[in-house]
Amino acid sequence: MTQIQTEDEVEQVYSPKVPPAPPGVARKVRIQHLLEMKQSGRPIAMVTAYDASMAALADEGGIDVILVGDSVGNVVHGFETTLPVTMDMMIMHVQAASRGAQRALIVADMPFMSYQASIETAITNAGRLIKEGGAAAVKVENCGERSLQAIKAIVDCGIPVMGHIGLTPQSVHALSGYRVQGRTEEQAAELLEYAARIEEAGAFAIVLELTSDAIAREITSRVSIPTIGIGAGVGCDGQVLVINDMLGLTENPPRFVKKYCDLRAGVLRAVRKYSRDVRERTFPGDEHTYE
């Protein structure tokens, strides 16, 4: 019997459907790879995606982590906030993204009130996202002591947890809207404290959303786990954007979004041309018609 020597050979045995990776790149991204990336100074590329097709494209494009975010409520379902998103909605989208991606680490957001009510509720819902959804980890937004207790309890059950501080959209009403965090000394001290406590609770990474560049750099230098920034400057260990935003599908995206193409304009042109062709009966043509 051939002895298994390398990590990739182990992955070949336990994950035979995952295709080979380029030299020096993990065949299947695991949480320890993210820590190694922080330690080596290699930035982590992460996107938020909600379905199989986008997850597959992100995966093929070399993305390390795919977050199935509760921002699906805004982006896909048209809600004004993330608050109406349910566990059943999240599980459906996590299942879809998990089917689309083969290499990237899949992280699932725990939606509003899926972990705040009790430790038992938090553990049960985190387990559903792993067992039913197919995620490899869950993300918990900071809401004080309850979220810290939830992180520790979920980690103790063997489920990896990513923390989230700064602007936490589930607390939009408590924060009086979508505001940059960490601009005052008091806010900065609070963010530093929560980052340390989230690491202490056992989280493997922290998302820093809409924070000042200075405090994001300070947190990144102080914690030993990776930081993933969104609107938090270049000093984090990695970056995350909603894939719809970076592809230009979103009208009037936030300032921190860089559009890498303008699919919205392309889609509009295509739909208008299709509508015109249908009305003028130039589609379908002979080449689209069966004998």
Q: Which residue numbers are catalytic?
A: 209
Long-range interactions of 123-131: CB distance < 8 A, separation 24+: 123/153, 123/154, 123/157, 125/87, 126/154, 126/157, 126/159, 126/161, 127/157, 127/159, 128/87, 128/91, 129/87, 129/90, 129/91, 129/94, 130/159
Neighbours of 101 (CB within 10 A): 25
User: ∠221-225-226 over CA atoms, to 5°?
Assistant: 80
Residues contacting 158, CB < 8 A, separation 6+: none
Q: Say which residues have a Cβ less than 8 Å from residue 12's Cβ, sequence separation at least 6.
A: 27
In 111-260, which ranges are E strands? 137-141, 161-166, 205-209, 227-230, 238-242
CB 234 within 8 A of CB 43: no
